[in-house]
Amino acid sequence: MPKSDPNPLSEFDLIARFFSPPAAQGFVGVGDDCGIMPVRPGFQLAVSTDTLIEGRHFFSDADPADIGHKALAVNLSDLAAAGAQPRACLLSLSLPHADESWLQAFSQGFLSLANESGCQLIGGDTTRSHDKIILGVTVLGEVPVSQALLRGRAQPDDDIWVTGQLGAPHTALQLRQGVWAADEALLAQTLPRLLRPQPPVHWAPELLGHAHAAIDISDGLIQDLQHILHDSQFGARVEAAAIPQHPALTHLSAEQQLEAVLSGGDEFELCFTAPVAQRAHILDSAAKAGVAVQRIGTITLEPTLQILDFEGKALNAEPTGFDHFNRS
């Protein structure tokens, strides 16, 4: 629909057409004053929310289906980090205008991931913004009472694990922003990981009772691991050579590879710690679920972080991650 259309979609038409998936058994979906979701006895609710702003969290010209996917994926990643199973979500949309084809693709991207993840859309809010698209997503998940994975539960001698293959989102971002020399082939190989993160949502609850602490990698592996170390009051030794790396990164210099895997954000994979005795179980259950997992280091009693580069030499500079208020 052109922006100047004299009969734009009303707020209610928009909600009814694009954001009213059928409600699953036991749920009251979009359209009433409150969404209602069943909560099983013996479980706690795990709740998380994230905002995405046009130009900061997604490119203005991005495919709206990718934006819809990512808006939910970055929230599902927080549930995964708690070991919670997604159950429901809420979507707050602030749009400068109602563009039907944008909404159609956005809702398809959002709702197909919601459907795949067992996450029922039960409500939200729709408002007009001044000039930018602002998306607020809240997710609700279930986790057995007192079993949620928390950042502060790491123990000395725990293995440190990561899921997936790291470095592609950072590489795509550096290439898109012209910080790294243009390389169309490399951009094509890495961009999908930036646009469509795939957090290990289905597998994460398998970690309950096996892992000690977990976090999702949103601001860079090292910065996110630091949260676990800070909250657990222990240290760590991490071997860069052990970090699973996206295969396309072999085209980059060792320095760029190191930066991408240690400090690159937007991964939405998990970093977790678990006792050595859990190795076989973790490898086995991840293999059954088709999730890549890799041990990258150890939690140490000594509360410092030691990072070994690809040659096994200690890095002196601590790589930083992303901080909204320290960098723009």
Whichever of 30 and 194 has its CB closer to ligand ADP, that residue is 30
Cβ proximity to ligand ADP, 8 vs 152, nearer residue? 8
Q: Least distance from C-beta 125 to Mg ion, angstroms?
A: 4
The one segment of 27-35, 62-70, 150-158, 292-300 that binds ligand ADP by CB under 6 A: 27-35
Which of 5, 13, 32, 125: binder of Mg ion (CB under 5 A)? 125
Q: Does 13 bind ligand ADP (CB under 6 A)?
A: no
Whose tokens are 């010209």? That residue is 61
Q: How far is CA 29 from the centre of its chain?
A: 25
Q: What is the C-alpha separation between 328 and 326, in angstroms, rounded?
A: 7
Q: What is the DSSP string of 178-238?
A: TSS---HHHHHHHHHHHHS----TTTGGGGTTT-SEEEE-SS-HHHHHHHHHHHHT-EEEE
Question: Quick check: 8 binds ligand ADP (CB under 6 A)?
Answer: no
When asked if residue 32 is in the footprint of ligand ADP (CB under 6 A), the reply is yes
Residue 15 binding partner per list ligand ADP, Mg ion, none, with a CB distance cut-off of 5 to 8 Å that depends on partner kind = ligand ADP
Q: Which of 9, 30, 168, 173 binds ligand ADP (CB under 6 A)?
A: 30
* Interaction between residue 157 and Mg ion (CB under 5 A): no
State which of residues 74, 82, 93, 186 lies at the interface with ligand ADP (CB under 6 A): 93
- Residue pair 263/321 in contact by the 8 Å Cβ criterion: yes
Q: Is 89 in the site for ligand ADP (CB under 6 A)?
A: no
134 lines the binding site for ligand ADP (CB under 6 A): no
| Rounded distance between C-alpha atoms, residue 107 and residue 110, angstroms | 5
Cα–Cα separations (whole angstroms), residue 76 to 122, 178, 204, 270 = 15, 30, 10, 11
Tokens 């009969």, residue?
7
Contact pick of 3, 7, 33, 145 for ligand ADP (by CB under 6 A)? 33
| Helix, coil or strand: residue 41 | coil
The three-state secondary structure class of 43 is strand
Strand boundaries in the chain, DSSP class E: 43-53, 85-95, 120-128, 134-144, 159-163, 213-216, 235-239, 270-274, 293-300, 305-308
Fill in the amino acid letter for 224. Answer: D
Please give the residue whose beta carbon sits closest to Mg ion in the complex. 125
Q: Which is nearer to ligand ADP, 110 or 161 (CB)?
A: 110
Smallest gap from Cβ 197 to ligand ADP, in A, equals 21
| 123 contact, one of Mg ion, ligand ADP, none, CB 5-8 Å limit per kind | ligand ADP
Judged by CB under 6 A, does residue 105 bind ligand ADP? no
Whose Cβ is closer to ligand ADP: residue 134's or residue 307's?
Answer: 134
Helix (H) or strand (E) holding 260: helix 254-263
List of residues contacting ligand ADP (CB under 6 A): 15, 19, 30-33, 91, 93, 121, 123-126
